[in-house]
Amino acid sequence: MKRRKILFVEQNVDGTIGGSHYCLLYLVQKLNRNIYEPIIAFYEPNQLMGLFSKEGKTIVFNKAKNVTFDNIVLRKLINILINMIFVFRCIFFLLKNKINLVHLNNSVAVGYDTWLVACLLTGVPCITHERNFDRFDRFNRLNLPLFKILSSRYNKVLTVSDVIRDNLISQGFDPKIVETVYDGIDAEKYRQRVSRTRDEIFKEFGIDKGSYLIGLIGNIREWKGQELLIDSLDIINKQVSNFVCLFIGDVSKNSDEDLKFKDKLVKKIDQYGLEEKIIFTGYRSDVPDLVNALDVQINASIKPDPFPHVILEGMSLGKVVIATNLGGAIESIDNGRSGFLVTATQPQDLAEKIITVLRDDKLRKSMSENAKERIKIFSMENNLINTEKIYKAML
């Protein structure tokens, strides 16, 4: 049987590596090669392209940036032209490579006016992931009608949690095309990526062996909640002072907003006198080693995080994850058994739960075992079965 070609498109352009990249990597690694041939396209080079290239043809499909000068009419005309040229490039690529299905990896709001249009004109089915909790009335009055018309033409929208599915349906998306497919993880394979001991990690960062290690995994962005955690650490420091916290993740060099937020965090850390207790690691390729060394893992998002894959990674390694009660964390964590959910607006609540976990070895151990059991629900096998079922229906 001739294999069906699926084009996967990752449209992130902020220079960072995030959960969407890893979720896509895990999917193409497990994809049935007897039936499907993956082709992976990125808008910019990234550190994972070497791994992707082992799974299928991997390319950088550059997308020109829109112009931003003051003349509104001329700006809109030029940007329309830029978009039209890109659509023609997409059409040419689909036809030349005989693509059978396009799977966009990010959001209904990205690619609807380019890849989706190209698919509609060539008759190629197009599905998209929705990995964000978004309100689409943020579009200006000129773009909103176009978005509503085109986004209804996706063949399927895969949401990473029921929270995201409900959000889309509440904004008018047809429930028939919106389906929840939880991101999956191969827990055993993730565990095998651990190559260094806790002692080795402590030595690298100069951490005293008697210290507790707390960690938050996520790129430095305001909604990721690093500030909430810093406020909690100030409270914790007055009761449990022997701790160090790692902020594991990069800051986008392309975002002035993110860079300013990083500066704000540094100033607050200085204000609280926590300079010796908080470490920004930047981008790390050895995240499993760092997570494995943690005593407790935090997901402090102050806006709904659709379905944080880092929670699954922590659970795979038996980490007690404390997360804010927003977004997909509500669905992945069994509150009080495999981890804790806390209020996103209350540093005191987060601090109390962290102190509870750090001080109670028996509780930490039981929650660790419960986390490793619960992760089976979110296996890569379940993700693959549900995803390939959708591919089969489209093809």
pLDDT score at 68: 82
Residue (of 84, 55, 80) closest to 67 by Cα position? 80
Cα 343 from Cα 22, distance rounded (Å): 28
Structure tokens at 221: 């962005």
Task: For the chain, give the mean pLDDT.
Answer: 94
Cα 306 from Cα 183, distance rounded (Å): 10
CB-count exposure of residue 8 (10 Å: 0-12, 13-18, 19+): buried
* Alpha-carbon distances, residue 136 vs 108, 152, 224 (angstroms): 10, 13, 21
For 292-331, how does the pLDDT look when each residue is reduced to its tens digit (9 = 90+)?
999 999 999 999 988 999 999 999 999 999 999 999 999 9
What is the topology classification, in CATH, of domain 4-184+379-394? Rossmann fold (3.40.50)
Lowest model confidence (mean pLDDT) among 15-29, 101-115, 133-147: 133-147
Structure tokens at 191: 């565990």
Residue (of 191, 183, 162) closest to 315 by Cα position? 191
**Quick one: DSSP state of residue 24?**
H
pLDDT score at 207: 97
Lowest model confidence (mean pLDDT) among 172-181, 242-251, 302-311, 346-355: 302-311
Provide the terminal-to-terminal Cα distance of the chain, rounded to the nearest Å.
13
Cα 175 from Cα 29, distance rounded (Å): 30
Cα 56 from Cα 36, distance rounded (Å): 10
Length of the chain: 395
Query: Mean pLDDT: which of 61-65, 153-157, 326-330 is highest?
Result: 153-157
Residue (of 203, 130, 119, 195) closest to 167 by Cα position? 130
Residue (of 21, 48, 97) closest to 310 by Cα position? 21
Give the residue-averaged pLDDT of 176-190.
95
What is the sign, positive or negative, of the torsion defined by CA atoms of 282, 187, 367, 206? negative
Structure tokens at 281: 């690691």
Tokens 């007897």 — which residue? 34
Structure tokens at 171: 């904004």
Structure tokens at 380: 């890569």
pLDDT score at 208: 96
Q: Which CATH class name applies to 187-377?
A: alpha beta
Q: 115: Cβ–Cβ under 8 A, 6 or more apart, which residues?
A: 9, 90, 102, 104, 126
**Is pLDDT above 60 for 81?**
yes
Residue (of 53, 41, 45) closest to 6 by Cα position? 41
How many other C-beta atoms lie within 10 A of the C-beta of residue 388? 16
Give the residue-averaged pLDDT of 3-7.
97
For 201-212, how does the pLDDT look when each residue is reduced to its tens digit (9 = 90+)?
999 999 999 999
pLDDT score at 346: 94
Hey, do 4-184+379-394 and 187-377 end up sharing a CATH topology, with the first three levels equal?
yes
Structure tokens at 270: 């200085």
**Is pLDDT above 60 for 142?**
no
- Predicted TM-score of the model (pTM): 0.83
Domains of the chain: which residue ranges?
4-184+379-394, 187-377
CB-count exposure of residue 347 (10 Å: 0-12, 13-18, 19+): buried
**Quick one: DSSP state of residue 143?**
H
